[in-house]
A and B are shown apart, each in its own frame.
Chain A
Amino acid sequence: MKKALMKDTVKEIKNTYKRFISILLMAFLGVGFFVGLRASSPDMLHTIDKYFKDTNVYDIEVVSTLGLTQEDVEALKKVENIEEVHGTYTQDALINIEDVESVAKMMCIDDINKPVLKEGRLPENENECVVEDIFLTSNNKKIGDKLEVEMEDTTDDDGEKISFLKQKELEIVGVVNSPLYISRDKGTSKLGAGKVNYFIYVDYKDINAKDVYTEIYMKVKNSNQFVTSSDEYEDYISEVKKNVEAIKEERENARHEMLVDKANEKVDEAQKTFDEEKANAEKEIADAEKKIQDGKAELQKGEEEINKNKTKADKEFASAQRQLDSAKAQLKAGEKELQAKEAEANTQLNEAKNSKAQLQSNLDSVTNGIAQLDKSLGQVIEALKNPNLPAEQKGALEQQKVGMENQRTELENNRQQLQAGIAQIDQGIATGQSELEKGKKTLENSKAEISANEKKLQREKKNAYAQIESAQSKINSSKQELSEGEAELEKSKQEFNEKISDAEGELIDARAKIADIENATWYILDRNANQGHTSFVNDTKSIESLGAVFPLVFFVIATLISLTSMTRMVEEERTQIGTLKALGYSKIQIASKYIIYAVLACVIGGVLGMHVGCAFLPRIVWMMYSMMYTIDNFVVEFNVFYGSIGLTAAIICIVGATIYAAYRELINTPAVLMRPKAPKNGKRVLLERVPFIWKRLSFTRKVTVRNLFRYKKRFLMTIIGILGCTALILVGFGLKDSITSLLPNQFGDIFKYDMQISLKGNLEDSQKTEIIDDLSKKDEVTEIVETYMTSGDMFIGDTDDLSSDNEKEVQIIVPKESNELDKIINLSDVKTHKTVPLAEKEIAITDKLSQLLGVKVGDTVKIRNQDDKVKEFKVANIVSNYVGHYAYMSKDLYEESFEDYETNVLYLKEKDGITTDQEDRLVKGIVDRNEVSSATPTSTVMSSIGDMMNSLNYVVVILIVSAGILAFVVLYNLSNVNISERIRELATIKVLGFYDKEVYNYISRETVILTAIGIILGLVGGYLLNNFILGTCELEYMRFAKTIHPISYVYSVAITIIFTLIVNIVTFFSLKKIDMIESLKSVE
């Protein structure tokens, strides 16, 4: 380049520094945004890459359906290119803190996937643990506090239950981040509410169940030379994965065999014990049987003896009886004789007695005579005793007395005779009697003897028979005993048989179970299986696509701006170009001035933009994403690659435009160039053909309208500039609006409930009824809906071919009563926005889920539940939703497909106008109940997002500032071009006596109209761009509502107007400075 031209270029820049700066700014914005947004994604990737390398995160992971062993570890160590192999232990645990139940993943600290210590220290003893930051904040705990975990026992290889941890009460000794859990979402669990809430690391010492590894993590040799998730990395790892695949089957079989062997061993042992016991029992039974047999024989012998004895006794007794009977007969004869004798004796006796009685009566009359005589004698004696008795009498009396006494003596003699007769008789009687008595006595004696003999015999017989009897009864009782024993034996035998068959059955079962031991299945996973990593990588991709769109806006505008201003610049120097051409300069030499001008602007602006963009934009993007991921130490790198691409793009756009503008003039001959360019001709516009309107326009408006259509390029450019400005501002606000309206939409429009109550597992039906009854009695509660909530994985393809891309975790909600669902959740069709009922035999899924899986209404999806059961479902409805993936199905369908319905979540609606205090009290009352695991009011969820949303303001500010710069550059440039193009016209009207304000209006009226059009189009464009951007950077489990609040439109318009006004003020002063002398100059 010639020196003169170089000088000219430098001078040109000096003179038109404003134009230079505006091109520079466009390059700055374009390159800055491009590089900044493009670099964000690699920066984020490098950050996670560095994090993963620092914490030695695995490359390949193996999990198995049957657990993994030390042998597996050894085998994997031998696999080619595998560098490190670590078997680790993981299990989910329940934690209950202040009646809030949450699920924690218990992990063992290892040299792989090392947690990063943030505070405190790592656990060193078996009763220590480290937790993550949110665990402390959410549960109001601090380092030094204790927590208790509740875990199910695991089963070891011997089938024994064994506790996973040694110590379940753990002291928190530190706070860590885990590279395995960089996102807040930690996946699902079979416990609690089905979601893992926290992770907790314990020391190896605390692990009790050490036989079986739950997973094996591997580090691949040299994998650290690649950036994680880069194609090179993925290719390399999948190569090594193939090596692992190679031993997969062998190890699966080995594991299966090992378990089978162990089980067989156990069953064999059992068989042996069984056999031994069986033999013992059989022997015992045989013994018992023999005993009974012996008893029976003995018994028989006894019985025989008894019978023999009995016969003998019978015979003996019979002869004794016979003797006795003959004695008895003799006795009877004797008796008869005696009786005859007796009868004779009795007759004699009676005779004697009669004689005696005669005698006696004689005696009696004698005795009586005596007695009478005694009496009369007595009276005489008495009368004699009387002294007064005259003697004559006495003497009579005395005589009488003597007579009487004689008489008496006679009598007495009679009496004595009589008495002697009686005595004689008596003696005869006595003798006869005594003789009789004697015979009788002899008889009596014989009788007694016989009877004694008989008695004796009887007694002997009785004794003998009693003996026999007792022997018999003894035998009988023995017999009884024996038969009882027999029966018992029989029973025992039966029992034994049963037991044997049971035991045999068990053994058969056990053997069958061994056969049933399923084959181990290895799952060989890479980092893509890590949810946090994958969603992070996906997020970097959305940022990347964002980086493709935004800078495009700036590049397009930069191109247009350079085109107009460079065209103008070339046009202004038309004559000079012509002259140079005439002087013999080549086209390239002439054009080089403009090219250098543009390149300089481009390079300076671009390099500045590169640095500023690289330094700031990734940080801002990071700031937003760091809300969702726990990764520290963001790595900002100066991205030379994207920098040069951005710069090249800017140069191509701007310099290309310049070359185009320059060559359009340069193709003309010098003669043409040196002549003034014919001004653009005036033309009637279409509107003039509508006299109705045209006539109503004031003169100046007519002028404006005509001018608008005269400078079409400028017209277009201004509109695009303003459009871009308004759109960017609107996008800024729109992004904020859409993201902040996410939860209000979710919890206002879709989830209508006010509180979600998770019930503890294993509640009795009565307990559920009780809590529901209690709650429904509360004034604050208006509705209670019972549901079952669980999670599963949804996919459409084959089970073999699943990854996080085509298998999505979904929350399944099953209402107890289908018709009650709409009280708490609004199933609103995503297209018609009409509320739809829950189908009987089909499911409803949420919009984003259907999009991710590519599912339409009527398609079939598969759901795998927590127990790995896979079922197919037909999709009846696709419903609106904003956060998370949900599937809704009826109770019948659920029970038909998986298992029995069981209420585990209650949704409450509170009465309107409930105060925060009232709600707090309500929540406390609910949480305090034993049945409740957690109670979350919607209002809490809503208030927790405020902080997150604040950082969105950065985005808005960035966009507004960029939009402002864009608006300034575009408007300022265009207005400069406008003035420069029309300077003659403007000078003329100034000469005509237009006031400054009138001159300004003459120009700005056009700008105002263009601005208005630009704003309107910008609102439309902003709306579309907002939707596009939200669509691109939407997180996987979110559906942004794409809402822009009316006030945001107002702000966007107002801010654009303010920017326009500022530019117009500058224009006003430029117009004022226009020298009228210009109008006198000849047309160049």
Chain B
Amino acid sequence: MAYIEFKNVVKKYEMGEVTINALNKTNFQIEKGELVVIVGPSGAGKTTALNILGGMDSVTSGEVIVDNKRVDKLKSKRLIQYRREDIGFVFQFYNLVQNLTAKENVELATEICLDSLDPVTVLKKVGLKDRMDNFPAQLSGGEQQRVAIARAIAKNPKLLLCDEPTGALDYKTGKQILKLLQDTARKEEMTVLIITHNAAIAPMADKVIRFKNGRAQDITINENPISVEEIEW
């Protein structure tokens, strides 16, 4: 059985009289330690899938299994615990707490985890050794995203979920962030999921899942993922 499994997952949003099928019987599997890139156009359901996987949203039907856990069946508190212990989340807009320094933003996460990593070490690892005591406003977008990644991985999660992590960044910085994520996945053997609408970065992944109309239409296993540095777009 795969580490992560989506089985016939359906997610419907009732917007008044209109029902939107965000996910329509989605099925995919991800193995432990894989770096997965999910691509697809807007509204294809990739963010919904990620939210469900991250325990932030519920399914209408179907099964979501993560490390033998039926995430779709988790009750509120267990779901929070799942988010807390198993998931690291990197947002498109970093979502740093403006009022906290880089280090404190990481600490915000590590405070609540049992086997968290040392915030300083993690920050050093993401290359922010010298900016630890800066507030988000004093950091560039890339730096902010690094803080966000550091905050996510410092929790030592089973699963690192990244929603358009480079969406707000320029090309160069975006590349650096992707590199960081790739390196993290490799070095820490962490399962990493990256959502992007930029199909160009797909070659860096172990597995590429293409979404269309609420379905994982095409799943490609990349036998030889290439380093981010080599990808140009």
Contacts and interface: CB of A to CB of B under 8 A. Distances in A.
Interface of A: 678-683, 699-700, 702-703, 706-707, 710, 984-985, 987-996, 998, 1076-1077, 1079-1080, 1082-1083
A803 to B, nearest CB: 65
B56 A1076 contact: yes
Nearest to A998: B112
A1080 B109 contact: no
Interface stretch (B81-89, B174-182, B183-191, B207-215): B81-89
Interface stretch (B29-37, B59-67, B96-104): B96-104
Nearest to A683: B135
Interface of B: 47, 51, 54, 56-57, 76-77, 80-85, 87, 89, 91-93, 95, 97-101, 104, 107-109, 111-113, 135-137, 151, 155, 163
B137 A682 contact: yes
A993 B104 CA distance: 16
A992 B100 contact: no
Contacts of A1083: 93
Contacts of B82: 993
Contacts of A1077: 51, 56-57
Contacts of B99: 680, 682-683, 703, 706-707, 710
A1083 B136 CA distance: 15
Given A683-B135, A989-B108, A1077-B56, A995 B100 contact: no
27 contacts: A678-B137, A679-B137, A680-B98, A682-B100, A682-B101, A682-B136, A683-B135, A700-B111, A702-B104, A703-B97, A985-B95, A988-B95, A988-B97, A989-B97, A991-B95, A992-B83, A992-B89, A992-B109, A992-B155, A993-B85, A993-B87, A993-B112, A995-B84, A1077-B57, A1079-B91, A1080-B51, A1080-B91
Given A991-B56, A995-B80, A699 B104 contact: yes
Contacts of B151: 992
A991 B93 contact: no
A678 B97 CA distance: 13
A695 to B, nearest CB: 14
Contacts of A995: 77, 80, 84
B15 to A, nearest CB: 14
B140 to A, nearest CB: 14
Between A988, A989, A998, the greatest number of chain B beta carbons within 10 A of the residue's beta carbon is seen for A988
A273 B38 CA distance: 142
Given A681-B137, A707-B99, A1077-B57, A994 B104 contact: no
Given A991-B83, A992-B108, A993-B85, 11 more contacts: A682-B101, A682-B135, A682-B137, A699-B104, A699-B107, A992-B83, A993-B87, A993-B112, A996-B76, A1080-B163, A1082-B92
Contacts of B136: 682
Contacts of A990: 56, 80, 83
Contacts of B81: 993
Contact of B111 (A681, A682, A699, A991): A699
Between B47, B56, B57, B135, the greatest number of chain A beta carbons within 10 A of the residue's beta carbon is seen for B56
A984 B95 contact: yes
A1080 B92 contact: yes
A706 B54 CA distance: 29
A986 to B, nearest CB: 10
A987 B47 CA distance: 16
Contact of A703 (B77, B93, B100, B135): B100
Given A681-B137, A699-B104, A699-B107, A992 B98 contact: no
A724 to B, nearest CB: 28
A883 to B, nearest CB: 57
A429 B163 CA distance: 223
Nearest to A707: B99
Contacts of B85: 993
Contact of B98 (A682, A998, A1082): A682
Given A681-B137, A993-B80, A985 B97 contact: yes
A706 B51 CA distance: 31
A994 B107 contact: no
Given A682-B101, A1077-B51, A1080-B51, A993 B91 contact: no
Nearest to A703: B100
A988 B100 CA distance: 13
A538 B135 CA distance: 62
B195 to A, nearest CB: 10
Contacts of A994: 80, 84, 112
A994 B108 CA distance: 10
Contacts of A991: 54, 56, 83, 89, 91, 95
A557 to B, nearest CB: 27
A995 B100 CA distance: 20
A663 B192 CA distance: 47
B112 A992 contact: yes
A994 B76 CA distance: 12
Given A682-B98, A683-B135, A1082 B111 contact: no
A1076 B54 CA distance: 10
Contacts of A680: 98-99
A988 B112 CA distance: 14
A77 B168 CA distance: 97
A3 to B, nearest CB: 22
A740 to B, nearest CB: 49
Between A702, A996, A1080, the greatest number of chain B beta carbons within 10 A of the residue's beta carbon is seen for A1080
The 3 closest A-B pairs by CB, nearest first: A993-B84, A682-B135, A681-B137
Contacts of B92: 1080, 1082
A54 to B, nearest CB: 65
A992 B89 CA distance: 7
A993 to B, nearest CB: 3
A686 to B, nearest CB: 15
Contacts of B112: 992-994, 998
A990 B56 CA distance: 9
Given A993-B87, A1080-B92, A679 B80 contact: no
Contacts of A683: 99, 135
Nearest to A993: B84
B178 to A, nearest CB: 19
A992 B100 CA distance: 15
B95 A1079 contact: yes
A492 B101 CA distance: 130
Contacts of A1079: 91, 95
A985 B104 CA distance: 14
A984 B100 CA distance: 14
A689 to B, nearest CB: 13
Nearest to B110: A699
B101 A1080 contact: no
Contacts of B57: 1076-1077
B99 to A, nearest CB: 4
Contacts of B47: 1080
B71 to A, nearest CB: 14
A985 B112 CA distance: 16
Given A993-B83, A1083-B93, A703 B98 contact: no
Contacts of B56: 990-991, 1076-1077
A210 B193 CA distance: 114
A339 B113 CA distance: 201
Contact of B84 (A679, A699, A992): A992
A702 B103 CA distance: 13
A1082 B93 contact: yes
B79 to A, nearest CB: 9
A532 B135 CA distance: 71
Contacts of B83: 990-993
A679 B138 CA distance: 12
A574 B105 CA distance: 28
A681 to B, nearest CB: 4
A302 to B, nearest CB: 151
A1079 B95 CA distance: 7
Contacts of A699: 104, 107-108, 111
B104 to A, nearest CB: 7
A993 B101 CA distance: 20
